[in-house]
């Protein structure tokens, strides 16, 4: 996969290193990067230019990339890069960094943003996740799909602690995509068991988040399977 990252600050470089480690091709665009900065990610290709200029994006061959990441510290620049990537180059997927949470409402498909990642919100989510059990934490939002990745640490006294995944009926448009248990990620199968203090990762429609949180909270009655027909 070929990825172009606009912005070679600490966030952009960190993303680049992860992608390179996973075997992807990465081009970093930054007008202020010097040899010292470039040496921190030596395996990436570098372009010293203003990513908000159409000529720079043409030089970066955005029409040949799979993903554009707008990771600058300027929300206006990230919106412009995303919009140009979509409208001028038809990039399949754009990911934009939101620096000021007050600007989140602009980071949607009208500005060419497929996925908006709010750094302050993500940091808040990590803090909340560390100190709370049973509270739903939104990790990030898929703007176009009106869905989010959310995390919840299963309380020990949840009605679903000890339940088999295949026996749990989650709210509509809600998918359990991962379990983190004792610092190990698990791809859940129907036969896996939900254990107390499991960190559960879901993709869920935004309107169903409250229902999901209430369902897994202590004191909530577990959903029953419809087996009345089997008893008739």
Average pLDDT, the chain: 85
Which residue's structure tokens are 């896996």?
192
Instruction: Determine the pLDDT at residue 80.
Output: 97
Which conformational region is residue 52 in: left (phi greater than 0), alpha (psi within -120 to 50 degrees), or beta?
alpha
pLDDT more than 90, % of the chain = 53
- CATH annotation of 2-117: 3.40.50.720
Instruction: Determine the pLDDT at residue 218.
Output: 80
- 104: pLDDT strictly greater than 50: yes
Span 61-90, mean pLDDT? 95
Q: 5-9, 56-60, 226-230: which range is least confident on average?
A: 226-230
**Residue, of 36 and 221, whose pLDDT is higher:** 36
Which residue's structure tokens are 């409208």?
87
Token pair for 22: 């996973």
Instruction: Determine the pLDDT at residue 88.
Output: 96
- 168: pLDDT strictly greater than 80: yes
Instruction: Determine the pLDDT at residue 72.
Output: 94
Instruction: Determine the pLDDT at residue 132.
Output: 55
Architecture of domain 132-216: 2-Layer Sandwich (3.30)
Q: Smallest Cα–Cα separation from 46: which of 91, 81, 8, 97? A: 8
Token pair for 179: 């379990």
Instruction: Determine the pLDDT at residue 17.
Output: 87
Q: 134-138, 168-172, 206-210: which range is least confident on average?
A: 134-138
Q: 42-51, 146-155, 169-178, 222-231: which range is least confident on average?
A: 222-231
**Is residue 173 within 8 Å of 208, Cβ to Cβ?**
yes
Instruction: Determine the pLDDT at residue 230.
Output: 40
151 contact partners, CB below 8 Å, separation of at least 6: 125, 129, 136, 137, 139, 199, 200, 201, 202
127-144 residue pLDDT tens: 555 545 667 777 777 766
Please report which confidence band the pLDDT of residue 192 belongs to, taking 50, 70 and 90 as the band edges: very high
**Is residue 176 within 8 Å of 170, Cβ to Cβ?**
yes
Q: Where are the domains of the chain?
A: 2-117, 132-216
Which residues share a beta bridge with 149?
140, 203
- 214: pLDDT strictly greater than 70: yes
Q: Give the chain's end-to-end CA distance (angstroms, integer).
A: 55
88 contact partners, CB below 8 Å, separation of at least 6: 54, 57, 62
pTM over 0.75: no
**Residue, of 113 and 10, whose pLDDT is higher:** 113
């Amino acid at each position: 996969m070929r990825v172009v990252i606009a912005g070679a600050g600490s966030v952009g470089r960190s993303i680049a290193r992860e992608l390179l480690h996973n075997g992807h091709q990465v081009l970093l665009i930054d007008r202020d990067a010097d040899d010292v900065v470039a040496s921190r990610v030596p395996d990436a290709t570098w372009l010293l230019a203003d990513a908000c200029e159409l000529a720079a994006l043409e030089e970066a061959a955005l029409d040949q990339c799979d993903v554009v990441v707008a990771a600058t510290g300027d929300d206006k620049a990230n919106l412009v890069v995303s919009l140009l990537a979509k409208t001028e180059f038809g990039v399949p997927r754009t990911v934009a960094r939101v620096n000021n949470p007050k600007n989140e409402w602009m980071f949607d498909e009208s500005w060419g943003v497929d996925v908006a990642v709010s750094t302050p919100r993500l940091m808040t989510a990590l803090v909340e996740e560390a100190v709370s059990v049973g509270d739903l934490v939104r990790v990030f939002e898929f703007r176009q799909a009106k869905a989010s990745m959310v995390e919840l640490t299963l309380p020990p006294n949840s009605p679903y602690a000890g339940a088999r995944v295949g026996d749990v009926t989650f709210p509509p448009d809600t998918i359990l995509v991962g379990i983190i248990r004792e610092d190990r990620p698990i791809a859940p199968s129907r036969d896996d068991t939900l254990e107390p203090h499991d960190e559960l990762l879901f993709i869920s429609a935004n309107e169903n988040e409250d229902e999901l949180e209430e369902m897994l909270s202590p004191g909530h009655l577990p959903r029953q399977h419809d087996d009345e027909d089997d008893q008739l």
